[in-house]
Amino acid sequence: MLGNHILVVDDEPNILRSLTFILQKGGYDVSVAEDGEEAMTKIRDLKPSVLILDVMMPNKSGYDVCREVKSDPVLRDIHVVMLTAQGQEGDREVALAHGADEYISKPFSPIQILTRMNELLG
């Protein structure tokens, strides 16, 4: 569903469950992927409006997925939100340098996630 479809990519099942719950309660259509390879397949198939992407994942890191999305003319308009346990200012700069539109540190609050999605999707 174009417009409010969000793909959540994280290798931690509890994060996937909690983000899916929060976003669906907020009225968003949500899909999930558990690693970077699965994410790229779903991104190409679903063309989500927003990608919430964990940095540290097996097979392909969040940075790799972000770079791939932002360098593809068909996909580059997807908003990329990096989600990571690494909360240092330098990590934020690295995420933004890879093309991320946003950066949210774990642990996150449900209000923070919904506020950012509402801002990104207007």
Q: Would you state the torsion angle of the CA atoms of residues 56, 58, 60, 65, taken in this order, to the nearest 10 degrees? A: -50
Q: Which domain does 65 fall in, by range?
A: 5-121
Q: Would you state the torsion angle of the CA atoms of residues 23, 71, 38, 56, taken in this order, to the nearest 10 degrees? A: -70
Assess whether the previous peptide bond of 13 is cis (omega < 30° from 0): no
Provide the pLDDT confidence category of residue 1 given band limits of 50, 70 and 90.
very low
Query: How many structural domains does the chain have?
Result: 1
CATH code, domain with 61? 3.40.50.2300
Provide the pLDDT confidence category of residue 65 given band limits of 50, 70 and 90.
very high
Q: What is the pTM of this model?
A: 0.92
